[in-house]
Structure 1
Amino acid sequence: MDRAVAMVQQSILGKLGEEVDLVVRYGSSHTQATHPYSDLDISYVPVHESTWDSITVMVNEVMIDCYPIHWSRLEAMAEFDDPSATVLLRNQIVYQANEEAAQRFRSLPERMAALQRNEARPEMLGKAMLIFRKTGYQYYLLRKQAEAGHRLSCLHHARNILSTVVHCVMVCNQACIDTRKRDQVLSLRLLPAGFGETLADVVNQTDPHALLMAVEHLLATTRSLLLSEQTATHRSRAGFPEVLDSAYPELKGDLQHLMLACERGDMYNSTLTSLLHELMIHMAQVVAGVEYSEFNTVSEY
């Protein structure tokens, strides 16, 4: 396998030369956890975001797919915005253009560790909420395809939703796991109610309507977990003077826009919802002691 790594490294450097900052090996072949169908995970880090060259070869029945992992994606992993964060913890640099590039790469796990500390809990919960919101369009597509009875489309969108939810739950736990490994997912401390059974239902269902129901239950229980953690984590002790003082510019702006729309007879822009939303969310911050956000609906304030 080392010979194969050397061959791929030589090929990519021969093709791209100084455009390569690093060549990195990771995955099961690096961690000695291979199985009969394991491939060789090796990637290069290009200098520029515009570089997308790749090499795919077979060596002794082992597939080797050397593709670029850009610095922006590595940094997203370090921020837990990309679910493949374990790459940063278990790897081997097999080529470095210079020590600066190697140190930049080696420093990324420090950023991950900082986000796993107690003081980063509010930030990580906010990230989990943002990730969860990404399920919206896939859920819309799943509903449309379930109505049409298109089995393959439903299976595809359900899997996309499941991957996003598992990423969300990982971040909610401030953990770094291989989200493709079911046992690692189920070992997390914080899980949606009945997560094991719901996970099995989403994975095993093939009927479009039954699959839609399973995914809806997955989304509902995951959101309930996030709401519970929000109540416990995003606490506020601010009083009315402090909260309304900071909210004053936005509240005044909403009121002025409403008054202008009324004077012009502009029904398209004459709405109270923005003003009432801003007022209610800030009042709830004082009364309930919770900092609500765009993750919440108005009835939850």
Structure 2
Amino acid sequence: MANVFEVAQTLIQHIQTRFKGDIALVAYYGSYAQGTATSRSDLDFFFIPSTPQGFRAALSFLCGGISFDFWPIRWERAERMAAFEEPNTSIIADCKLLYVRSDADLARFEQLRKRISETGKPSLALIEKAENHLRDAYVHMYQMSLLHNDSTGNLTLFRTEAHGVLTHALYALALLNGTYFTKGWGKNTEQINQFHLKPARLDEHMHTFMQTSETKEIQTASEQLVQDMLELLNAQKAHYAAGPDYKGRMKGFYEEIRGQFDKLLTACEANDYTTAFFWSIGAQDEIARFLYYSRNGYWPSAVLATADYMHEYIAVGLPDLPKLLASDRLSELRDMILLLDERLRSLLQSHTVHIAEFETPQQLELYLDQRG
């Protein structure tokens, strides 16, 4: 069996000879960095190229029966990891450096680690990143819905999609707890158990995924887990919300949406149903989302049912445009757009939202002079 660090040193010597100006640093992570390596453990290590030539150092190989994968990470990707935008933040946060080209490279890398330590606490920003994982979990649930539920016939396919649901849900859970997984799957159970925030049925769902051979049970557990995670996520969003602020959050909104109203009016008058279809639905959805954001302090979730945020629109008495969509009702739709314009302006003014509107260029010039 090869000594993994002797192998690593061989690569470092090769870099110093052939790629001295092309690689910023080399580091290792995983079991050897954490002190949990076994006789079968490989050495997980990576390098950051500083030039296109540096990528040529990448190599996957076996030595002494041990697997090695010397793989490149661009600085841009390392920055995404440090920003919790990829689920492998631990690679940057917990690695051990083997080689650094310069003090400037070291300072840049340490700045990434500092960013992780400063970001790593519960926040609305991490909640939004968790939301992205839940959205990806929905893709696996959709794929599962296409499978034929025939007890064990499609068990492999159901388990594969459930694996996607579970891993995305757990990545989201780590972010809701303001952290990242420091160990790989199967070794992070203790960390999951110590999370302050987690669904009450998490252990039950994980047991179902791992133990049952009934496809219907796997699908049901997936749906319940995602729903539990969504409720937990929304509760955390509400916890970090700053409360209603129509005046601040809707500043400039009317001026933008008015352009969509004009497109809609033109489409109705030209009997252009296709354009009216797209812009009427898009405009109403955008207004509903802004109203939701203005009241709650955060945007509606990508996995939130449309009805949950569209309620904001209907509740304030704005006309429902998509209901009127029909090629022979464009004159009626035009009237409703004018009504929507009137009611939206009135609503914003009731919340003291300033609308920047000028009758003449001279009025605009005077405003700009006064604003400075």
Q: TM-score, normalised by structure 1?
A: 0.86
Of 245, 250, 260, 1:254 maps to: 260
Deviation at 1:16, TM superposition (A): 4.2
Gaps of 5+ in 1: none
Asked if the contact 2:27/2:99 (under 8 Å) is kept, the reply is: yes
The C-alpha deviation readout for 1:63-112, integer Å capped at 9, x for no partner, is: 22211122122111110111111222322211111111111112111111
Of 114, 119, 122, 1:115 maps to: 119
Output the aligned Cα RMSD.
2.6
- SS of residue paired to 1:94: strand
| Structure 1 residue aligned with 2:178 | 174
| Structure 1 residue aligned with 2:140 | 138
C-alpha spacing 1:254/1:298, structure 2 compared with 1 (3 Å): farther
Asked if the contact 2:25/2:99 (under 8 Å) is kept, the reply is: yes
In 2, distance between residues paired with 1:74 and 1:196? 32
| Structure 2 residue aligned with 1:32 | 35
In 2, distance between residues paired with 1:48 and 1:206? 50
| Structure 2 residue aligned with 1:300 | 308
Deviation at 1:217, TM superposition (A): 1.5
Q: One-letter code of the match for 1:20? A: I
- Aligned residue pairs, count: 297
Q: One-letter code of the match for 1:273? A: I
| Structure 2 residue aligned with 1:203 | 210
Asked if 1:264 is matched to 2:264, the reply is: no
The farther-off stretch of 83-92 and 166-175 is 83-92
Of 36, 42, 45, 2:45 maps to: 42
In 1, distance between residues paired with 2:38 and 2:241? 44
C-alpha spacing 1:289/1:66, structure 2 compared with 1 (3 Å): closer
Q: Pairwise mapping of residues 45-124 of structure 1 onto structure 2 (< 5 A)?
A: 45-48=48-51, 51=55, 53-117=57-121, 121-124=123-126
Gaps of 5+ in 2: 310-372
> Which of these two proteins has the greater Rg computed from alpha carbons?
2
| Structure 1 residue aligned with 2:284 | 276
Q: TM-score, normalised by structure 2?
A: 0.71
Asked if the contact 2:171/2:180 (under 8 Å) is kept, the reply is: no
| Structure 2 residue aligned with 1:229 | 236
Q: Report % sequence identity.
A: 19
In 2, distance between residues paired with 1:191 and 1:49? 43
| Structure 1 residue aligned with 2:219 | 212
| Structure 2 residue aligned with 1:158 | 162
In 1, distance between residues paired with 2:125 and 2:32? 34
In 2, distance between residues paired with 1:75 and 1:173? 21
C-alpha spacing 1:298/1:30, structure 2 compared with 1 (3 Å): closer
In 2, distance between residues paired with 1:114 and 1:290? 23
Asked if the contact 2:130/2:176 (under 8 Å) is kept, the reply is: yes
- SS of residue paired to 1:57: strand
Asked if the contact 2:30/2:44 (under 8 Å) is kept, the reply is: yes
Asked if 1:238 is matched to 2:241, the reply is: no
In 1, distance between residues paired with 2:169 and 2:124? 19
The C-alpha deviation readout for 1:211-269, integer Å capped at 9, x for no partner, is: 22221122111111111111222233314x54544321243133223222222223323
- SS of residue paired to 1:193: coil
C-alpha spacing 1:164/1:289, structure 2 compared with 1 (3 Å): closer
Asked if the contact 1:127/1:171 (under 8 Å) is kept, the reply is: yes
Asked if the contact 2:131/2:301 (under 8 Å) is kept, the reply is: no
Asked if the contact 2:27/2:97 (under 8 Å) is kept, the reply is: yes
In 1, distance between residues paired with 2:132 and 2:266? 34
| Structure 2 residue aligned with 1:187 | 194
